[in-house]
Structure 1
Amino acid sequence: MEKLKPKLFSVMKSYTKEQFVKDVIAGIIVAIIALPLSIALALASGVTPEKGIYTAITAGFVISFLGGSRVQIAGPTAAFATIVAGIVAKNGMDGLIIATLLAGVILILMGLFRLGNLIKFIPYTITTGFTSGIAVTILIGQIKDFMGLTIVSEEPLIETMDKLKAVFQFISTTNLQALLVGVISLLILIVWQYLPGFCK
């Protein structure tokens, strides 16, 4: 049972003021990254932005309280955006809540039965292929907002190919101001690492 005890309870016995200051700074840095990202992933998942913020904050507290490592960092992940979007489109928020609870129960059971070792049987090519597929899906899903397109659709676009088709169909609605902001932001991300000295 000692292995199942959250790390927080054993760490607090020797916790110092210096560690608290470092943890606060680390928490602020993670929040600066995680909160905007959670808003973006909420939109990509087909839900409203505040639901992304609620999820990131709640998950952060729960994971830090029940986590098994003192250096664990929790945050939103893009890997589930397309899956969540499909669940929301077909079953609504009620379906998403049920799916989330079921996923939590399954993860707890996998932990209790020590099934984490099964990951070593999944080939590296499957992992990289899955990750690359998610990257392409997210890229195509962001073209609409990058170009400021006004896409009119009777049903929410979930499938990647439907999103790509809609981009070509509504390309004439490109918002030049949105496109300019997107291009400048992208250039900053790409070029910044090559800047000399202090800027780098």
Structure 2
Amino acid sequence: MKLKTNGTKTNWWKWACLLILAINVAFVGVIASRLIQVREPAAQTITSKKVKSVKVGTVSTTREQLNDTVAAYLKDYQTKNSSYNVYATSSAILFEGTYTFLGYEVPLYIYFQPSRLESGAIQLKITSFSVGTLTLPESEVLKYLKSSVDLPNFVEVLPKESVININIQSIKNDAGIFLKATTIDLVGDQFNFDIYKKNS
């Protein structure tokens, strides 16, 4: 018996073109996936935070040494019309000066309790004061201090809060060095400061 063919021939050119097209699509797919695929995990870039300052040391001092340092520093701020002393005792920081009232000089004593702020500054809170026999509000005494006494520019007098902030971290010098208070202990006679160097 003879098989009957229905007269259609296989078109080899058609199959060859489809095969070449499939190979090209596969090739483009492989190339595209290789281009898109991450070869290695991206190296994490280390972003260095620009540090404004670096701690270079620590200094500890006693009440006597601190008083000598403060007296020497404030010598430049004494004038003929405005003379005062600031020193630490075993219980308080004491400001001694004079208050001019109706043309008369009245002795002025202000007692402060020191504390360390987070910024490294020292805050002095009024605990008591004496202006001769005058009775004045704390804010009035600090307003007088702010307006009439020549203080360093890093000393911030805040009459409404009855405090003085000594921003020792803002003291400017050619070396770019500043201090931050870490321990202020009047009773224990211990005063510690961290020394920092500003980055240029």
* TM-score for both structures, normalised by structure 1: 0.23
Greater length-normalized contact order (CA 8 Å, ≥ 6 residues apart): 2
Q: Higher helix fraction: Structure 1 or Structure 2?
A: 1
Q: Higher strand fraction: Structure 1 or Structure 2?
A: 2
* TM-score for both structures, normalised by structure 2: 0.23
From the CA coordinates, give the structure whose radius of gyration is larger: 2
